[in-house]
Amino acid sequence: MQGDLNFPYQDGPQGGTLRQVAEGVHWLRMPLPFSLTHINLWLVEDGEGFAIIDTGINDAKTQGFWEQIFNDHLGGRPITRIFATHCHPDHIGASGWLCERWGVELWMTQAEWQQANIGELRAGGASRPAMARHFERLGFPVSRLRKMGRMQGYFQNMVGPLPPGYRRVRGGDRIEIGGRTWVVCIGRGHSPEHACYHCPELNLMVGGDQVLPYITPTIGVSADEPHGDPLGLYLESIEQFYALPADCLILPAHELPYRQIQFRLTQLKLHHQERCQLMLDTCRTPQTAMVATQAMFAHRELSGFDVMLALGETLAHLHYLLYRGQIRRSIDDEGIYRYQAC
């Protein structure tokens, strides 16, 4: 591991503008309506036109900025295809509109495509009883479950109708974009089959949410996989990025591009080790996941959707320890899980 992170840029491009970060690769930003105020998106020159990597959410402001870019920065050249790193609303929300607008295909991994479509099907609320049972077992207050369902709908509203089909991307694929080879590297834990796009010739990688420079990506147990081990998958999958050159430019979905990814990988691993130790200390006596969440996030006040995310992240650490024999789980008389260090 070499020194601290290196940031070649001190700020990001304004809405509706582009900044070139490498030959044929352009950086743009779209606004987001929550604590992460922006998402970084990428335009890559692709033959007669440009490929887009990630799309932003589906709202009038995002579409307006895209139209501004199309009119002011493409020189009359078309969009050739859309790539998605993963299925979250800020990454694929506008994909259906963009694909229809340009008559092009959406390229993404199969698990992310399927997860996105499951999200569309759940918009009607059919999964809410099972989700409620999941959160009740974790000690989540029943009085807050109805509000939780409304917040779920809020996020679903950020995703427009998806394209009717997609082009499948697989780990290890070598995709030609603009005459250069981009290698697909699969990350897990934050989402099921997150695609990072590495171009060795340009010595850069579009990293999506998998390896962010300052914040840690959300890694949480979800209601549709209530016994999952996403933290284990995440820590396993980031090991591959140690093989990247130290001066490889990482293009993250949030914050600023950076170099020295090995330093960041080690930071992330240490962070999760510290969180796991906190869970072991908290669970010296049997505790619910909700109580453990209050301990893990004691430094900040949680409200709204943040409570759900925090509970999922806490459970990811509890499950990581559970499946490695460091914590055991029992069910109390009220049907609520209790976690205790071994």
pLDDT above 60 (res 126): no
Q: How distant is the alpha carbon of residue 273 from its chain centre?
A: 21
pLDDT in tens, 238-260: 999 999 999 999 999 999 999 99
Least confidently predicted of 113-117, 118-122, 219-223: 118-122
Residues 6 or more apart whose CB falls under 8 angstroms from that of 300 comprise: none
pLDDT in tens, 270-300: 999 999 999 999 999 999 999 999 999 998 8
Q: What is the pLDDT of residue 10?
A: 95
Task: Delimit the domains of the chain by residue range.
Answer: 19-280
Name the helix (H) or strand (E) containing 184.
Answer: strand 180-187
**Mean of pLDDT values over 139-154:** 65
Q: Work out the angle at residue 318's Cα, subtended by the Cα atoms of residues 315 and 320, and round it to the nearest 5 degrees.
A: 110
pLDDT above 90 (res 301): no
Q: What is the pLDDT of residue 35?
A: 81
Looking only at the bridges linking them, the beta strands covering 249-252 and 204-208 are parallel
CB atoms < 10 A from the CB of 180, how many?
Answer: 18
The token pair at 57 is 């959410």
CATH topology of domain 19-280: Metallo-beta-lactamase; Chain A (3.60.15)
The token pair at 150 is 């409304």
Burial-class residue 295 by CB neighbours within 10 Å (0-12, 13-18, 19+).
Answer: middle
Burial-class residue 200 by CB neighbours within 10 Å (0-12, 13-18, 19+).
Answer: middle
pLDDT above 80 (res 141): no
Closest CA to 154 of 294, 32, 29, 293: 32
Q: What is the pLDDT of residue 2?
A: 47
The token pair at 282 is 């908290």
pLDDT above 50 (res 104): yes
Residues making up the chain, counted from first to last: 342
Q: What is the pLDDT of residue 1?
A: 40
pLDDT in tens, 43-100: 999 999 999 999 999 999 999 999 999 999 999 999 999 999 999 999 999 999 999 9
Q: What is the pLDDT of residue 283?
A: 98
